[in-house]
């Protein structure tokens, strides 16, 4: 497995720490650092800053929001960062959710799968430096009956192909990732609950004629972000991850449309997911975190003493993970650096990575 570091959002009070973590990860030989965006900091600006401070670390957007930019603008940004960094950019895309898409960007959330497919088509066309002409249901370039003309990207990306990842949770979106993307950005990934998810990805890969009948996902990057808490007190370690889980299961979306809540339900935590959401939407965030089942946290995070984390690492490789992207929310910079350093050590000790 490759080893990645998810830096999350800029502006959460840990900005200087995140830069220090990225530099340390680069020094330790991590493969990629991922940066997120929602409705605060944007991913490309932070990635450019991280890229200027590092040498070998790939720079991953996890994700750049599809409703936030035209596909041409995304291609321009990808080509620019890839060129500036010497070919280190990984383009992760996601549709966000209806509240952010419609409330922040003013873009209707309708038909997210079809929009994603067309969006990726245009981004790839532009990055290949073809004249961009597209007649889709959601995107038409150039606009008809006007002065627009089919243009070609003037920037030359360093690589022939910039890898495209999709953030996907639902079965149909997972199929789309397997069909049109180079990798899947996963959240709340449990090796023990991953078979159905990866089967959906394989279905899409088979539809596209990718790989072989024996290995449809050959060359496809499976990238879960996994919270890591190294603590001799297992209960305390779980409790430190619970607010993050409660935020997504309970508060990321409405009662009618929360993809993470549905994922928890598909994993068998229906009753808990309902209770977490009820409490969170009733503004009882601490209570919501308190009822997140230990079993869910333990399945989707690496928590506990060092040896326990080491023993549980192999589950991810066995499940088909190709890049393990860790995140840490330890309270101090030194504690976060300890996690980053320890995970590099453990990947070597287990033989999962040189």
pLDDT (0 to 100) of residue 160? 85
pLDDT (0 to 100) of residue 227? 98
Token pair 């860790």 is found at: 326
Q: 276 lies in which domain range?
A: 232-304
Condensed to tens digits (0 to 9), the pLDDT of residues 38-68 reads 999 999 999 999 999 999 999 999 999 999 9
Using a 10 angstrom Cβ sphere, with 0-12 exposed, 13-18 middle and 19 or more buried, the burial of residue 78 is buried
Q: What is the CATH number of the domain that holds 169?
A: 3.20.20.30
DSSP character for 30? -
pLDDT (0 to 100) of residue 135? 97
Residue 354 within any structural domain of the chain = no
Total domains in the chain come to 2
Q: Do 132 and 33 reside in the same domain of the chain?
A: yes
For residue 303, what are the contacts with CB-CB under 8 A and spacing of at least 6? 227, 228, 229, 231, 234, 237, 238, 241, 297, 309
Residue 148 within any structural domain of the chain = yes
Residue 243 within any structural domain of the chain = yes
pTM exceeds 0.85 for this model: yes
Condensed to tens digits (0 to 9), the pLDDT of residues 120-149 reads 999 999 999 999 999 999 999 999 999 999
Q: Do 248 and 193 reside in the same domain of the chain?
A: no
pLDDT (0 to 100) of residue 12? 74
Residues of the chain with pLDDT under 50: none
Query: What is the rounded radius of gyration, in angstroms, for the C-alpha atoms of the chain?
Result: 20
Q: Do 282 and 208 reside in the same domain of the chain?
A: no
Q: Do 175 and 271 reside in the same domain of the chain?
A: no
Q: Do 320 and 331 reside in the same domain of the chain?
A: yes
pLDDT (0 to 100) of residue 257? 84
């Amino acid at each position: 497995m490759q080893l990645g570091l998810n830096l999350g959002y800029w502006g959460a009070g840990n900005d200087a720490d995140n830069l220090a973590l990225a530099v340390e990860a680069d020094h330790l030989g991590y493969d990629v650092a991922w940066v997120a965006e929602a409705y605060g900091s944007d991913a490309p600006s932070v990635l450019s800053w991280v890229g200027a401070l590092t040498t070998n670390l790939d720079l991953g957007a996890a994700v750049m929001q599809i409703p936030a930019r035209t596909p041409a603008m995304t291609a321009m940004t990808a080509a620019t960062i890839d060129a500036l960094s010497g070919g280190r950019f990984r383009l992760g895309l996601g549709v966000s959710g209806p509240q952010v898409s419609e409330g922040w960007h003013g873009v209707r959330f309708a038909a997210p799968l079809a929009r994603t497919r067309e969006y990726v088509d245009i981004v790839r066309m532009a990055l290949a430096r073809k004249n961009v002409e597209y007649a889709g249901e959601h995107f038409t370039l150039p606009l008809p009956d006007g002065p627009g003309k089919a243009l070609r990207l003037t920037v030359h990306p360093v690589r022939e192909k910039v890898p495209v990842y999709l953030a996907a949770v639902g079965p149909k979106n997972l199929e789309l990732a397997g069909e049109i993307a180079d990798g899947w950005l996963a959240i709340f990934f449990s090796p023990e609950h991953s078979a159905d998810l990866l089967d959906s990805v394989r279905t899409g890969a088979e539809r596209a004629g990718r790989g072989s009948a024996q290995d449809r996902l050959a060359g496809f990057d499976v990238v879960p972000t996994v919270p890591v808490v190294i603590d001799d007190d297992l209960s305390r370690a779980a409790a430190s991850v619970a607010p993050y889980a409660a935020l997504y299961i309970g508060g990321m979306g409405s009662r009618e449309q929360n993809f993470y809540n549905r994922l928890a339900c598909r994993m068998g935590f229906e009753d808990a997911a309902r209770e977490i959401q009820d409490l969170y939407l009733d503004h009882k965030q601490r209570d919501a975190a308190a009822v997140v089942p230990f079993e869910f946290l333990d399945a989707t995070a690496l928590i506990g003493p060092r040896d326990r984390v080491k023993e549980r690492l192999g589950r991810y490789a066995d499940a088909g993970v190709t890049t393990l992207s860790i995140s840490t929310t330890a309270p101090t910079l030194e504690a976060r650096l300890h996690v980053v350093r320890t995970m590099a050590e453990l990947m070597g000790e287990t033989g999962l990575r040189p």
